Amino acid sequence: MTLDLDLARRNMVSNQVRTWEVLDARVLEVLGTVHREDFVPSAFRGAAYADLELPLGHGEIMMKPVLEGRLLQALELTRNDRVLEIGTGSGYLSACLAQLAGHVTSIDLRAEFTAVAQKRLHAAGIDNVELLTAEAVHEFVPAQRFDAIAITGAVATLPQRWLGWLNPGGRLFLIMGQAPAMQALLLRHGDAQPETVEVLFETDLPYLRNAAPQAQFVL
């Protein structure tokens, strides 16, 4: 089984992630070494490297590997960066971010998710991730600013308070819009200049809690 998973991991990198325009050598190395199967629910261990969204429970999902690869590449992380992840989920993306950056703070609304992710990260020998249980859209107030922010769920509109959490020159990856046609965006926080936004690709992802569009009532 171990050999099969090792082969599946290599095939994921070569046949899925690389073909989706992820060419950053550091990102490919991380995706090729972090054991994704150790972060998925046990019932889906055999599908850890499939081109699928995997259910995590409570209506939450684990992103496809190709989307995780594009996110990691877009943020252009260095070992000096401090990263905020909004939506810990399984802890897999936290592990990948931790291999590319200096420190990761990851928050999730569900204490169950942060507790399980903590165990998985510890088992993987990853010790530069701080996990917090918090609501990100309205309540969370970070103790410092970050060089990069990774949003793992969709938002209908960008909460403006998140921009204040970025250092000058910081990057923010998010997926925004109305399902089923959303856009993956990379926002760069300028110093003396306004933010710039780059449209990366189109996709679809479940909304973060409190980030879905307001219901429209038509008479």
61-119 pLDDT per residue, tens = 999 999 999 999 999 999 999 999 999 999 999 999 999 999 999 999 999 999 999 99
List Cβ neighbours of 170 (8 Å cut-off, separation of 6 or more).
145, 146, 147, 148, 149, 188, 189
The b-or-e profile of 37-61 (16+ CB within 10 A means b, else e) is bbbbeeebeeebbeeeebebeeebb
CATH superfamily of 2-203: Vaccinia Virus protein VP39 (3.40.50.150)
Closest to 82 measured CA to CA, from 146, 166, 151: 146
Q: What's the mean per-residue pLDDT of the chain?
A: 94
Average pLDDT of the segment spanning 131-153: 97
> Would you kindly state where each structural domain of the chain is located, as residue ranges?
2-203
Per-residue pLDDT for 1 more than 50? no
Residue 195: which pLDDT band, with cuts at 50, 70 and 90? confident
